[in-house]
Amino acid sequence: MRLRFILSETVKGLARHLAMTVSVILVAFVSLLFVGASGLLQAQISTMRGEWYDEVEVSVYMCPQASAFPGCVNGEATQDQIDAVEERINGTLDSYVDNYHIESKAEAYENFMDAYGDSAVGRNATEEMMPVSFRIKLVDPENYEVVAEQFTGQDGVERVIDQGATLEPLFLVMNRASWITGGLAAIMAVAAVLLISTTIRLSAMSRSRETGIMRLVGASNLFIQLPFILEGVIAALVGALLAVGALWAGVHYVVEGWLASSMTFTSAFIGTGAVLTLAPWLVLAAVVLAALSSAYSLSKYTRI
């Protein structure tokens, strides 16, 4: 009987303030959409960093026939200088190196022609112009500086390039986008709290006569407040479910359906499973936020 009464009062409250209820749903939807987007973006960054960093190599380029780099003033790297680099890789740096490959002039020329063969630069290039290089895969890509220090300035070494450095600007942009969406989510969460509090307060004020009668017959604070709290929780819950649905659709159709098929050079994309993992936390956040803001708003309007 009590449960039926509470549910009846909750439905009445939602219907009585339909416009405000829809507003709460929309604000909860937008705020949780930003929260979810921020979380998924962080998951995407972690996925890309994990896969791409596994493929990152440190490239040690030996001096070619002609080079403008200061370390190559003595001309092309000799075989002894090439052997010295390999010896250091197998010696001092052995614990840092997972594996390495020596790219010969022939391999370098073939790769260069694949990339630039149709251009004027490619038509003028010859195999003898290509540098010998070492392609080193590290156990931990973060140890790039340790490797670079070993070869920078060594005789016969033109330059040392970390492929991971080219990825950092991309991760930086994505991280900043994540921070922006997180900031917007925080602002919208504050708006959601204020709107829920206002809606529940108006609902309580419009039914002050009913709550007064309930006080007179000995109803507890919880019994009086529960229908109002449920109004806020239900509205926020609907908004959370809409946000989860929008996030799922975005990942399914945009990430899995479009990006994954158009960017075939990598498989480092999150899937809808990431949304399903995040969904319970979004729903829980919506319920807790709505319940707490509603209870606080009601504390001085329905107190016995």
Give yes or no for residue 93 having a pLDDT over 60.
yes
pTM: 0.63
Please report how the helices 2-16 and 18-55 are oriented relative to each other, as an axis angle in degrees rounded to 10: 90
The terminus-to-terminus CA distance of the chain in angstroms comes to 22
| 34-51: average pLDDT | 78
**Neighbour-count burial for 109-123, b at 16+ CB within 10 Å, e otherwise:** beebeeeeeeeeeee
Q: Who wins on pLDDT, 77 or 298? A: 77
Helix locations, the chain, DSSP H: 2-16, 18-55, 79-90, 105-116, 120-124, 144-151, 163-206, 208-216, 221-249, 260-262, 272-298
Give the model's confidence band at 70: pLDDT under 50 very low, under 70 low, under 90 confident, else very high.
Answer: confident
Topology (CATH) of 55-163:
Alpha-Beta Plaits (3.30.70)
Give the SS3 label for residue 264: coil
The residue ranges of every structural domain in the chain are 2-53+168-298, 55-163
Which DSSP category does 161 fall into?
A: E
102, with CB counted inside 10 A (0-12, 13-18, 19+), is middle
User: Comparing C-alpha atoms, which of 124, 298, 136, 145 is closest to residue 223?
Assistant: 298
Chain-centre distance of CA 189, in angstroms?
A: 19
Chain-centre distance of CA 52, in angstroms?
A: 15
Q: For 196-252, how does the pLDDT look when each residue is reduced to its tens digit (9 = 90+)?
A: 777 777 766 655 555 555 555 454 555 556 777 777 788 888 889 999 999 999 888
